[in-house]
């Protein structure tokens, strides 16, 4: 009998836009999901670079307005820069979290590993999708597909291997992974991004 874990060329292609058929061998389905995650990481990496360029430009404008003592414009720019950096944190955290998931999926070697890794992976993808959607709407549908594919593989792997899925533990592991990604991003941003200066207090008119 053919193993549900081995690669079957009739089930999957090299095109990451084509989803493997549900219920087929697990290895090609897992590889297809990994390709999708790689594509999303690359997209977020590109977006991150764009956001950094915009951040540099906004920071230069802010410093210029402070030097020119344009208090009103400085206040507007400072608020915009703070909001932009919040978006950068969310995008960067999502990218790091997806990279961690990809690395874990790459280490899978059997059904037991697959169930252990996939359960928190699903929760991480849902968390990333929820945080990104307000700022990167097109990622909602794309990450939704990844979530559905992971869910299908998880169910089949659990049934074939006879494993029980502990979602409470998986959610705890997912939350810990996202927190670690967020802490890593926060540390990097503090090192790489110049701090937003405190604005001089504008005296109120009598």
Q: Are 150 and 122 in contact (CB under 8 A)?
A: yes
Band the pLDDT of 200: cuts 50, 70, 90. low
Mean pLDDT of 55-73: 92
User: Percentage of residues in the chain with pLDDT exceeding 90?
Assistant: 59
The CA distances from residue 203 to 2, 35, 63, 75, in Å, are: 79, 57, 20, 14
pTM: 0.81
Residue 22 has pLDDT above 60, yes or no: no
- The whole-number pLDDT of residue 163 equals 63
Residue 5 has pLDDT above 60, yes or no: no
CATH dotted code for 26-192? 1.20.1260
- The whole-number pLDDT of residue 166 equals 73
Band the pLDDT of 6: cuts 50, 70, 90. very low
* Per-domain residue ranges of the chain: 26-192
């Amino acid at each position: 009998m053919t193993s549900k874990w081995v690669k079957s060329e009739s089930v999957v292609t090299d095109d990451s836009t084509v989803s493997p058929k549900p219920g087929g061998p697990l290895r090609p389905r897992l590889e297809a999901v990994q390709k999708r995650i790689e594509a999303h990481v690359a997209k977020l990496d590109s977006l991150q670079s764009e956001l950094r360029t915009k951040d540099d430009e906004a920071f230069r404008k802010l410093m210029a307005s402070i030097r020119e003592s344009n208090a009103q414009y400085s206040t507007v720019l400072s608020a915009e820069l703070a909001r932009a950096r919040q978006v950068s944190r969310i995008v960067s955290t999502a990218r790091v979290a997806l990279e961690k998931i990809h690395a874990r999926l790459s280490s899978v070697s059997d059904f037991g590993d697959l169930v252990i890794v996939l359960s928190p992976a699903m929760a991480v993808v849902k968390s990333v999708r929820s945080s990104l959607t307000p700022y990167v709407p097109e990622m909602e549908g794309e990450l939704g597909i990844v979530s559905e594919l992971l869910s299908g593989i998880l169910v089949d792997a659990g049934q074939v291997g006879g494993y029980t899925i502990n979602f409470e533990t998986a959610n705890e592991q997912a939350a810990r992974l996202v927190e670690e990604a967020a802490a890593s991003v926060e540390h990097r941003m503090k090192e790489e991004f110049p701090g937003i200066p405190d604005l001089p207090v504008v005296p109120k008119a009598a």
